[in-house]
Amino acid sequence: MSESCNGNCSSCKESCSDRKPESLLAELNPKANVKKVIAVVSGKGGVGKSTVTSLLAATMQRKGHNTAILDADITGPSIPKTFGVQSCEGADEDGLHPGLSKGGIQVMSINLLLDNETEPVLWRGPILAGAVKQFWTDVIWKDVDYMFVDMPPGTGDVPLTVYQSLPIDGLIIVTSPQDLVSMIVSKAVKMANMMNIPILGFVENYSYLRCPDCGKKIEVFGKSHLDFIATKYNIPILARLPINSNVAEMCDDGEIESLEVEEINPAIEAIEKM
């Protein structure tokens, strides 16, 4: 360290062992307030990540917490339809006001900014990542206790931007029982570790089907391989969610908030203990 060092690395061009790494965290909108940020991720698509995100947010809101969802899956947004939200609450000189669900959950998604929700978003990686970053910097999130970030699948530009730009307090990894998913899950775990993001645990979706006649659990996708991965990385399995046709129906109707899924409660408890 130089004798003339004032401790402000941003104004110094010298390279020394005491130099502090520059923070890539984006500044939250000055009019916004967010206490905890939970990212919900998956190594691949089709495992029900957005459904799990919706169930977590709806359950938290039902318990009296002010909840929000930042839909970071720009090319495959599904959160607005799941909650029956069709537009934002407007914009002013301070920023953009997120949409509101019937239960009061704040929602921001690219679909709320499109003239037609079926229009594809044909953007390259850096533009996608920039849009997600703006959902943090430009949106006026009001007194949010828990924000859930619905991430796109994989380990590309957008997840990297979220990990670097948002103050992620914890990560929930959504998976399904198939053996192939175990390999993909390992990639998500290793990326989180490389980015120093704490992993709260796994939620296994489509874990089983409960027979409506005898109540027996039927492993439709075969025996789960998640226990091996959980043991290998010392990460807890927070919940195993059954195949439930009511969940799909409520998502399609925009009524996910009216459905209570008790199997998600252990994951909720883990988040509240943060």
Report the sign of the C-alpha dihedral through residues 108, 148, 41, 258, in that order: negative
Q: CB within 8 A of 115, min separation 6: which ones?
A: none
- Residues β-bridged to residue 239: 203
pLDDT tens digits, residue range 33-60?
Answer: 999 999 999 888 888 999 999 999 999 9
pLDDT band at 62 (very low <50, low <70, confident <90, very high): very high
Question: What local confidence, expressed as pLDDT, does residue 125 receive?
Answer: 81
pTM of the model: 0.89
The number of angstroms, rounded, from the C-alpha of 227 to the middle of its chain's C-alpha atoms is 22
